[in-house]
Amino acid sequence: MTVTDLLRAKKPDNLTISVEITPPTRGNSIETMFRIMDDILPFSPLWIDVTSHASGVEWIPTQTNHYKKRIFRKSPGTIAICAALEHKFNIPMVPHLLCHGFSCEETEDALIDLGFLGIQNIMALRGDGSPKEKRADKTYHNHAVDLIDQIQHINQGKYLSTEGQPTDFEIGVACYPEKHFEAPNLEWDVEYFVAKQNRGADYAVTQMFFDNSPFFNFEQLIADQVHIPIIPATKIVSSSKQLVKLSKFFHVDFPSQLVNQMMDAKTPLEASEVGLDWTYQQCLNLIENNHRHLHFYLMKNTDLFCSLMRRLF
């Protein structure tokens, strides 16, 4: 089933969830993914996102005291993991496809593989940072709207160099209640979000946020322009170091009250409890405001997530 089918089929008053996990780093086993699934399945997630990562660059010293560049992917396997988990656990998986780091030709190959595997749902993202090195003999997307266009073309049977069998992919996209860090202002960012909807996005998942007020304001701002489902998403923070890391890599804001409580925590256990309590109260507030499907950026650590689920359910 597609994500929007799942949302339509759920009972309106029931609380449901979805989660995002990340593939194991190169050399690690898929068994780590199976253990994560065993932990989260008792809470009946409607679907599971699996992140994708573009290639990185590593500089390796040579015997001549020089360095050579090696390009590699730290966490490959998104499509294979989605296929394995969907087959083993019978739950819809949503692979992430990125613009940055992948050519249009590589994207088409990935879409063909996903179609053969019967995976209907795709999260179309630009990807963080600057575009990776580009080959002159390949074409590339710069923005998520361009990736949406390619997926829509394949849905119509229009491949890069031929006509073919139409597909039926459903497209999810990201949106940013606190605005994307590269956007000059929120209004400009909303225009870009509306463009993603108008080009064919079926639903959106927010960037993680830790203060509900900007999200509620965002909903009001887009109410007359956006008509696809908007799914609020958050993450349980467990340490002051994580506040810094998430701010740096995801450009999110943390409320002063949460920061102060986390800084005052005397032990790692205390810090974890602060993060857990904060997310619990945040979820209750979202539920009270008629958001009965919540998305969680889980990655690999399930302990706090399972504790939160036991409180919510």
Domain presence at residue 20: yes
Pairing state between β 56-61 and 293-299:
unpaired
98 closest CA partner among 110, 87, 90: 110
Domain presence at residue 40: yes
Q: State which residues form the domain around 167.
A: 3-237+292-299
Number of domains in the chain: 1
C-alpha of 199 from chain center = 19
Domain presence at residue 28: yes
CATH number, residue 13 = 3.20.20.220
- Tokens 């997530």 correspond to 305
Domain presence at residue 310: no
Domain presence at residue 174: yes
* pLDDT per residue of the chain (313 residues) written in tens, 0 to 9: 999 999 999 999 999 999 999 998 888 889 999 999 999 999 999 999 999 977 655 666 777 776 765 555 665 789 999 999 999 999 999 999 999 888 999 999 999 999 999 999 999 999 865 545 565 556 778 899 999 999 999 999 999 999 999 999 999 999 999 999 989 999 999 999 999 999 999 999 999 999 999 999 999 999 999 999 999 999 999 999 999 999 998 999 999 999 999 999 999 999 999 999 999 999 999 999 999 999 999 977 899 999 999 999 9
| C-alpha to C-alpha distance for 175 and 177, rounded to whole angstroms | 7
Domain presence at residue 312: no
User: What single-letter amino acid sits at 81?
Assistant: I
| C-alpha to C-alpha distance for 246 and 279, rounded to whole angstroms | 15
Instruction: Give the global pTM.
Output: 0.91
- Tokens 């049977």 correspond to 157
Domain presence at residue 139: yes
